[in-house]
Amino acid sequence: SADGGGNLGLDSIPMGLPMSDPTAWATAMNNLGMAPMGMTGQPLLPDFDPALGMMTGIPPINPMMPGLGIVPPPIPPDMPAVKEIIHCKSCTLFPPNPHLPPPATRERPPGCKTVFVGGLPENGTEQIIMEVFEQCGEVIAIRKSKKNFCHIRFAEEFMVDKALYLSGYRIRLGSSTDKKDTGRLHVDFAQARDDLYEWECRQRMLAREERHRRRLEEERFRPPSPPPVVHYSDHEGSIVAEKLKDDTKFLEAIQTLLTWIERGEVNRRTANNFYSMIQSANSHIRRLVNEKAAHEKEMEEAKEKFKLALSGILVQFEQIVAVYHSASKQKAWDHFTKAQRKNISVWCKQAEEIRNIHNDELMGIRREEEMEMSDEEIEDPSEMKETEESALVSQVEALKEENDSLRWQLDAYRNEVELLKQEQGKASRDEDTTKEQQMKLLQQALQGMQKHLLKVQEEYKKREAELEKVKEDKLKIETLLENLKEQESSTSRVCACSQEKECPAEKTLSNSPVKSEREVLLVGIISTFLHVHPFGASIEYICSYLQRLDSKICTAEVEVLMTRLQNTFRQELSGVGASLEKRWKFCGFDGLKMT
């Protein structure tokens, strides 16, 4: 046509729209971040790059952005959006003032595909609305009102964002200037039940897929269920009994036996069979113990082999180091070149380091064996029976021996240091470095031995102090025992005298109404209770109070005791007929005068 043509394309959705000014459409589509296309499908701007289509400040629209929670970046406030005039076949769209604030919109409903369009011309028809908004995408339905607004539902959510771009444009039908042919478009999100229903269906589908995926993931990582255990019968019991005697099938059989016992298969008829199976399981313990002993024996043999091999390696290392040292002496050293001397000294250092590492490893193995031997000695029952004093004495003696051995080692180290000092004065300059290192190592060892000696001396002093304390405690206990024996002899004499004196008193007490200390306590408690209740109390009330103190007290015992003490307690009757009630009162003060 004469007006030319262009379509606003988003991915694979073509939208044809006739227009009179192709450059205006190109600018508008560039603002949207899309490559403008002509009628023939060729791009109007062949060098267009969507990543560079930001000259108007509008970010490029991605179809995956709306409706999926991806919000486009905000437009910088100092970069106003420049909108161009859009010419359509039946109308013209004029952009709003760029200095005005952007039109306000409501919060976007979830899954929104419907927009509200207000400010339409009074003479606007559905055909004109379709012509303007079909460039944004496929229109499913238009619901037009008589009051110059309508609702448009699109096929996809991202088309709503393109429709919002037209908000604020002034529309004019043809070239008419009549008020009924003009209007200002206001496009906003609209809340529709169909959109919400489709969004909820999609969310439920995603939730189902997520649950299915998690279930598959859990089933993949879930351990396999154990095989089912057969029910007990005499035939199955005989099979399991045979399996219990076989080492290769013991685990399966013992699990079956455990399941049967937990299910309650044991009864009087099957008790003998189960007992024989349990007896077979018990006999398997001996096999396990023998197997463990065999493995331990193999481990000990392997340890011995390793120790022997390691000691042989150490001997060879010592010989190699000795070769290096002999080569470093002046007789042979002067005949080597400088490079050869350097290599020999480096090899010597490496050999010494490796030798020291292996020596430490061998010493560690020996220490572990000594620790195991000491643990076995501690576990020996004969030594467990020793007293604390003898244990302290043995520890002190061991510390003395260790102290002496450490002193001897220190003397040996000192002699070695002196010899090294003498040899160092005679050696050449090339030997100085190696001797200094040896000196440093020996000095460090000497310092370590001195520190260890100080620690041993401190422990020795502590053990001596503990031994002295034990001896003092022993003397105190012996003196206490003698005092206790003397006190027992004196108390036995006093008791004999007091028994002779208390004989007549017991005779007099035997005639008293109170026969035991328990009854004396009961009399005191009852007297105190009745003294607080001057108008008396029933025998049930008194017994309920006493049973809080001792639940073994019975009502008959208390009543017999109170009737026996007539000068202390008095029973009174109150009421007439059915309301007759017996009350006990305390009369000890009056009884004292009478007696």
For residue range 514-534, list pLDDT tens digits in order: 778 888 888 888 888 888 888
Is pLDDT at 115 greater than 90 in this prediction? Answer: yes
Q: Is the pLDDT of residue 46 over 70?
A: no
- Average pLDDT over the chain reads 78
The CA distances from residue 520 to 276, 295, 517, in Å, are: 65, 75, 5
- CA 406 – CA 446 distance, rounded (Å): 10
Q: Could you say which DSSP state residue 60 is in?
A: P
Let me know if residue 547 belongs to a domain.
Answer: yes
Q: pLDDT at residue 69 above 50? A: no
Assigned domain for 69 exists:
no
Which of 333, 368, 403 terminates a domain? The answer is 368
CB 34 within 8 A of CB 8: yes
Nearest to 91 by CA among 189, 188, 185: 185
Q: Tell me, yes or no, whether 189 and 115 share the same domain.
A: yes
156: containing domain: 86-203
Residue 375: what pLDDT? 64
Summarised one tens digit per residue, pLDDT across range 150-181 is 999 999 999 999 999 899 999 988 887 788 88
Residue type, 492: S
Distance (Å, whole) CA 265 – CA 244? 18
Residue 319 falls inside a structural domain: yes
Strands 170-173, 91-94: pairing is antiparallel
Per-residue pLDDT at 311: 87
Report pLDDT digits (tens) over 457-485. Answer: 898 998 889 898 888 888 889 888 888 88
In CATH, what number is assigned to the domain containing residue 529? 1.10.10.10
Does any domain span residue 312? yes
Task: Kindly report the number of other CB atoms within 10 A of residue 536's CB atom.
Answer: 19
When pLDDT is cut at 50, 70 and 90, the band that residue 501 belongs to is: low
Mean pLDDT of 409-427: 75
Distance CA 490, CA 484 (A): 10
With 90 as the cut, is the pLDDT of residue 3 above it?
A: no
Query: Is 559 part of a structural domain of the chain?
Result: yes
Whether residue 336 lies inside any domain: the answer is yes
Of the candidate ranges 142-146, 368-372, 589-593, the one whose mean pLDDT is the lowest: 589-593
Number of domains composing the chain: 4
Q: Which domain CATH number covers 171? A: 3.30.70.330
User: Residue 119 is encoded by which pair of tokens?
Assistant: 């400010």
The more confidently predicted of residues 94 and 580 is: 94
For residue 407, how many C-alpha atoms fall within 13 Å in the half-sphere facing its CB?
8
**Phi, psi angle pair for 467, to nearest 5°:** -65, -40
Indicate if 170 and 256 belong to the same structural domain.
no
Residue-wise pLDDT tens digits, 234-263:
999 899 999 888 888 888 889 899 999 998
Same domain, 118 and 148: yes
What does the pLDDT look like over 175-229, one tens digit per residue? Answer: 877 888 899 999 999 999 999 999 999 999 999 999 999 999 998 888 887 778 8
Residues 267 and 179 in one domain: no
In a domain, 219, yes or no: no
Partners of residue 210 on adjacent β-strands: none
Distance from C-alpha of 85 to C-alpha of 366, rounded to nearest angstrom: 96
